[in-house]
Structure 1
Amino acid sequence: MTLIDWIGFIGVFQILLAYFLNVIGKISNTHIAFILLNLVGASMACLASILINYWPFIILEAVWALVSLYALFNYKKNH
């Protein structure tokens, strides 16, 4: 695997980990760990998509990261 593959793999893993932890009830979707896993994961997956120039996932992961960033700002405002 290349460095780009690893960046994408780790990013997607973080997104899936956040989802899994939420589904099994370990963290809520408003928990800081959930928000940060999604933000960092989506940013890494977006970067990997940029590096391979794959626009569908650039758009998907960029929007995912922006929504996560919005959630982070709301979290900080409320805590």
Structure 2
Amino acid sequence: MTTSDILGSIGVTLLLIAFLLNLRHLLATESKWYIMLNIVGAGLCGYSSYLIKFYPFVILESVWVIAAFSSLLKRVPRETLNN
């Protein structure tokens, strides 16, 4: 098994765990853990695809990471300007 195979397998496993836990109503799509599983899983899948030079999937996974990361940023509490 190559490095790209291992990384891709771990990434896909993380994405599927998040999906399965969501289907079983054990993890909400808005939860920090769900979002983090998506960021790390998609990141590993994207990097694995980059290693094997499969660029369409690199683009797909990059967009997935950006979407999940933006969702995570929405959860960060904002400092009030009146401090």
What is the Cα deviation at residue 77 of structure 1?
3.1
Q: What letter is aligned with 2:31? A: H
Distance 2:40 2:29 in 1: 15
TM-score, reference length from structure 1: 0.93
What pairs with 1:1-79 in structure 2 (closer than 5 Å)?
1-77=1-77
Greater helix fraction, Structure 1 or Structure 2: 1
Q: What letter is aligned with 1:55? A: Y
Percent identity over the alignment is 36
Which consecutive unaligned segments of at least 5 residues does structure 2 have?
79-83
TM-score, reference length from structure 2: 0.89
Structure 1 segments, 4+ long, off by >2 Å, are none
What is the Cα deviation at residue 3 of structure 1?
1.2
Equivalent position of 2:81 in the other structure: none
Distance 1:41 1:7 in 2: 9
Q: What letter is aligned with 2:67? A: V
Which consecutive unaligned segments of at least 5 residues does structure 1 have?
none
Distance 2:12 2:77 in 1: 27
Matched length: 78
